[in-house]
Chains A and B, each alone.
Chain A
């Protein structure tokens, strides 16, 4: 009997796709569940498989993507979050554009001082300039966020997509493996695995996020490939003798990738938060690396005397995560045919 899923409460209605596409939002801690639940609405093929939906007054029917882009350009939420993200990317590539100081140059004599001319955010407990460190911290967050998302999306969609396409024993094994990963609390896994690693670069953190993050994308990709696979045009292509790789790459992938993109965008924000959390717990990046998580953790003990050292990096972190989640939200709205 099909397991009831959030989107399909009635077992009778669920075909294999609806059934297996069920996403139990789990494991990865709260934040990633949003991605899963938001992505769920996209499990159905966007638009009808046959013919464009609502070409409107135009002569030439627009594809899903140009339609989505058309919507996005008019969405203030998208524009705002895209601007914030663009700004973050620029300052993480060239932080010296807006911060002339050195984030590691600290003067203990100025510890916990408030804001001064030239040092708008004041100084932290070690006498480092909070403004410079906040600007430089963007690089860590953006690097971890973007690279882990790429890794997770690549690994997850390849594994999930193949499992969904070929089915069979490999699929069952993969589903059980994802179950296992979902059962492990993510912060806990991070503490255990990263506490041994002494390397002080972003790579272990990225590797860890990819290791624990791929099952989420893999489930989405699998469900979405299973849905796309049953479309008539795929059957037609198969009947015409298309090879599996051609079916997968030319026919299924373009029609199954939308949910993956949405979930990955939202997940990007949550990975940034995860990196900060791990650094806060002392297992992510460690000083002398510059990361918002490290700064927040360092500022916590003397928060009574110098709250600004905690507030600025926290604010920057929150705005960054918010920007990515809003971007994902906007993309989902644009790609979701139900809202049209």
Chain B
């Protein structure tokens, strides 16, 4: 187990370097960060040169990358150009997005798995067909359309919720945005669970469990579900990163000041450090979530051992 974790951690290193380098290069292609500083007017060349020196932008890109990564590992994510440390922005943005992601994950896990089990056990029945069609529709309607429509219906027409989220973003206000963020993944989780349950339902161990007279609930939760969850767990694990990154759209629609909002602002203002900093953290979250998923396999299926 320990050796496996170490090997996986080592494997993460090149992916981490590659992904951050890629984003670093993209951001550098993004244009002159100094130009964004002077607003609409053209920068004074002397000022621009001085700023360039100050921020180390006159050095070659690879050197900038190394310096940056060196700083990141000492906990210094640099300063946004407005003088605020990027870590401070993260401190305000990440809790909001984490709350949003947690709500989305709860929806995915609870609603998705329950729907998947129900439909998987009743394959071909009306419930199954209805849910299947519904998931297809949810997958087909892009998130920003779902978000705008729900905001229009629940927030404006029926006034059940506030159409936009206040700056504290408490859990209560994030329920609808969380549902919107989760919607597409929710549909996948349902479909994955359904397929998996339907496949495993015919397996020998389920027949044995039924034959030895276990109550139906126990057969389903302990035997069938546990064995069917591996693909679902894989999906949810990889989805954590996607949810946090995909929150850009949801956060924009509901005016939530989380990671997506900061990133969007950073990109609009051509603020390199903010963008790279946030992306670095997102990539790390993604990698760690994947690692956790792999370790979780052993919990779900004791036959899997990591040597």
What's the Cα separation between A181 and B136 when bound, in Å? Answer: 26
Chain B, interface SS category: helix
Stretch at the interface among A6-14, A88-96, A238-246: A6-14
Contact of B2 with A by CB under 8 A: no
Q: In the complex, how many angstroms separate the beta carbon of A37 from the nearest chain B beta carbon?
A: 6
User: Quick check: is B145 within 8 A (CB to CB) of the other chain?
Assistant: yes
- How many chain B residues touch A (CB < 8 A): the figure is 66
Of A6, A195, A319, the contact of B231 (CB 8 Å cutoff)? A6
Partner of A27, one of B14, B144, B242, B268: B242
Contact with B along A266-310 (1 / 0, CB 8 A): 000100010011001100000000000000100010011001001
Contact across chains for A192 and B238 when beta carbons are under 8 A apart: no
CA distance A322 to B138 in the complex (A): 9
With A183-B15, A280-B249, A310-B152 in contact, do A193 and B141 touch (Cβ < 8 Å)? Answer: no
Query: B19 an interface residue at 8 Å Cβ cutoff?
Result: yes
Question: Once bound together, how far apart are the Cα atoms of A4 and B191, in whole Å?
Answer: 20
Q: Is A31 an interface residue (CB 8 A)?
A: yes
B95 within 8 A of A: no
Asked if B99 lies at the interface with its beta carbon under 8 angstroms from chain A, I say: no
Does the CB pair B188–A296 fall under 8 Å? no
Q: Could you name 27 residue pairs across A and B whose Cβ atoms are closer than 8 Å? A: A10-B301, A25-B234, A26-B242, A26-B286, A28-B242, A29-B242, A33-B188, A33-B238, A34-B191, A37-B191, A184-B245, A185-B241, A185-B242, A185-B244, A185-B286, A191-B263, A191-B264, A195-B268, A273-B140, A277-B144, A304-B156, A317-B145, A318-B137, A321-B140, A321-B141, A322-B136, A325-B140
Q: Which of A7, A30, A307, A314 has the most CB of B within 10 A?
A: A30
Name the B residues within 8 Å of A276 (CB-CB): 142, 144
**Distance from B109 Cβ to chain A, minimum over Cβ atoms (Å):** 15
Q: Which residue of B lies closest to A303 (CB)?
A: B152
Please, how many angstroms separate the alpha-carbon atoms of A321 and B252 in the complex? 22
- Any B CB within 8 A of the CB of A104: no
Is A3 an interface residue when CB atoms closer than 8 A count as contact?
yes
Tell me which residues from 220 to 278 in chain B have a Cβ below 8 Å from any Cβ of chain A.
227, 230-231, 234-235, 238-239, 241-242, 244-246, 248-249, 252-253, 263-264, 267-268, 275
Closest to B237 in A: A24
Given A1-B306, A33-B235, A34-B188, are A277 and B230 also a contact pair (CB < 8 Å)? Answer: no
User: Measured between alpha carbons, how far is A27 from B148 in the docked complex, in Å?
Assistant: 24
B-contacting residues, A8-23, CB 8 Å: 9-11
Enumerate B120-143 residues with CB–CB distance to A below 8 Å. 136-137, 139-143
A179 lies within 8 A of B29 (CB): no
A188 within 8 A of B: yes
Q: Count of A-B contacts with CB under 8 A?
A: 189
Nearest chain B CB to A81 CB, angstrom units: 11
Q: Which of B174-207 contact A (CB under 8 A)?
A: 184-185, 188, 191-192
Please, which residues of chain B bring their CB within 8 A of the CB of A319? Answer: 140
9 closest A-B pairs (Cβ-Cβ)? A185-B245, A6-B231, A180-B18, A322-B140, A30-B184, A26-B238, A273-B142, A321-B140, A183-B19
Query: Measured between C-beta atoms, what is the minimum distance from B179 to chain A in Å?
Result: 14
Interface residues in B16-68 (C-beta closer than 8 Å to A): 16, 18-19, 22-23, 26-27, 29-31
Within 8 Å by CB of A281, from B31, B145, B239, B248, lies B248
Q: Evaluate contact between A296 and B145: CB separation under 8 angstroms.
A: yes
Contact status B227-A9, CB under 8 Å: yes
Contact B241 A26 (CB under 8 A): yes
Q: Write the nearest CB–CB distance from A315 to chain B, whole angstroms.
A: 9
Whether B137 pairs with A187 at a CB distance below 8 angstroms is no
Is residue A176 within 8 Å, beta carbon to beta carbon, of the partner chain? Answer: yes
Residues in A neighbouring B22, C-beta threshold 8 A: 180-181, 184
**Bound CA span A37–B29, Å:** 34
CA–CA, A177 and B15, complex, Å: 8
CB pair B139 A318 closer than 8 Å: no
**Taking the nearest CB of chain A, how far is it from the CB of B135, in angstroms?**
9
B18's nearest neighbour on chain A, judged by CB, is A180
Cβ B19 vs Cβ A184 within 8 A: yes
Beta-carbon nearest neighbor of A283 in chain B: B267
Please tell me if the beta carbons of B245 and A188 are within 8 angstroms of each other in the complex: yes
